[in-house]
Amino acid sequence: MSTRVSSSAGADILLLTPPSANTSLIEYRLIGGTLDFYFFSGPKPQSVIEQYGALVGLPTWQPAWAFGFQLCRYVNNLI
């Protein structure tokens, strides 16, 4: 499950497992704003990752020129 608070108002998320309980509790405290819940149902962990990637977008590859500093710093005799 993913949550997003789309406001600058104060928010608190408390995760609690009472000592004598078999379940965990999640408590959301909001002063104002909107709280969006997203539930990714699976059935496998890989499909949950795919669903999350479809929602937020996938990372992009780093451009080749961004690796140049490290390569020139340590392998400068090839230039």
Q: How far apart are CA 23 and CA 46, in angstroms?
A: 25
Q: What's the confidence (pLDDT) of residue 48?
A: 93
* 30-79 tens-digit pLDDT: 887 777 888 888 899 999 999 999 999 988 888 877 766 555 555 555 55
Q: What's the confidence (pLDDT) of residue 39?
A: 85
pLDDT surpasses 70 at 28: yes
- Cβ atoms of 34 and 7 closer than 8 Å: yes
Better-predicted residue by pLDDT, 53 or 10? 53
Q: What's the confidence (pLDDT) of residue 57?
A: 92
**Sequence-distant (≥ 6) Cβ neighbours of residue 12 within 8 angstroms:** 28, 29, 30
